[in-house]
Amino acid sequence: MQSDVAREGLQDDFMLLSGRNYFLRRVKPVHVICTLLAVSYVLIVVLFVTSSNDGPKQPQQVESNDTALVVAAMQGNVQSSAVGQRTLGDQMTALQNKFDTLLLKMTDLENIMKKDIPANLCGTGSEAWEYYNGSCYLFLNVKSTWMEGKVKCETKSATLTVISSEGEQSFLVGKTRDQRFWIGLTDMDEEKEWQWVDGTDYKSSIKFWLPNEPNDSNQNEDCAELRSGGEWNDVRCNDQCFTICEKKAST
């Protein structure tokens, strides 16, 4: 009986020890897992703090990079502008050189033309005859009637000027600005039948009348004048105008 009791006690002790060992075996893995979780948590916290500290620096770096790009672009624009100014300056210098060269050539040509036209081509007297395209012109600065001007020209072996080309018209206009001059055109022999004093055919010749002229508006407007604006106008032959005489140049 006692032996059975003792045996049962031993069995109980054994079972108790066996259960404790089992418990210990079960507890160790749980402890390890908890430890690993704790370490992981600490690592996560450290990484978060580190990233938080590094975070604000990134926008500053981006801003710094953007500023550097802007500065570089501005420097490039300044350099391009400087190059453009130098190029424009070079072009202006080249144009000025071309202009100077052209001016010299024109001066040389003028000198050659003067040499080709002898000084006595229009006479050597004191009167200031001017040469143009094979003819000589004298601008009388004393006003007179058309007929008086005609007679004055004839005493100089010339006639009142006869305009036969646009070039001649331009030449005369350039010499008679702001003044009225008689020209050798009249219809005093027959109304509306205009004639040049040297017999040049009027109908086929070039004309530079004012609009709606000649109109004989005041009647007896039988003589032609070269007006200050360069157009022709019919006026009374007794009006007072300056005179243009023309003669052929000497050959």
pLDDT tens column, 73-121 = 777 777 777 777 888 888 888 888 888 778 777 766 665 555 555 557 8
Q: pTM of the entire structure?
A: 0.54
User: Which range (1-15, 151-165, 200-214) has the least confidence?
Assistant: 1-15
Environment class of residue 84 by beta-carbon count within 10 Å: exposed (0-12), middle (13-18) or buried (19+)? Answer: exposed
Task: Provide the pLDDT confidence category of residue 227 given band limits of 50, 70 and 90.
Answer: very high
Query: Would you say residue 60 has pLDDT above 80?
Result: no
Query: Would you say residue 17 has pLDDT above 50?
Result: no
| Residue ranges per structural domain of the chain | 2-54, 130-248
DSSP string covering 62-115: HHHHHHHHHHHHHHHHHHHHHHHHHHHHHHHHHHHHHHHHHHHHHHHHHHHHHH
Query: Would you say residue 14 has pLDDT above 50?
Result: no
Greater confidence (156 vs 33) lies with 156
Average pLDDT over residues 33-60: 60
The top-scoring range by mean pLDDT among 33-37, 89-93, 201-205 is 201-205
The top-scoring range by mean pLDDT among 49-58, 89-98, 109-118, 185-194 is 185-194
CATH fold of 130-248 reads: Mannose-Binding Protein A; Chain A (3.10.100)
Query: Would you say residue 32 has pLDDT above 80?
Result: no
Q: 191: closest CA among 233, 158, 219?
A: 219
Query: Would you say residue 209 has pLDDT above 80?
Result: yes
User: Which range (11-25, 72-86, 123-137, 143-157) has the least confidence?
Assistant: 11-25
* Helices of type H across the chain: 2-54, 57-116, 146-155, 166-175
Q: 238: closest CA among 220, 217, 213?
A: 220
> So what's the pLDDT on residue 105?
77
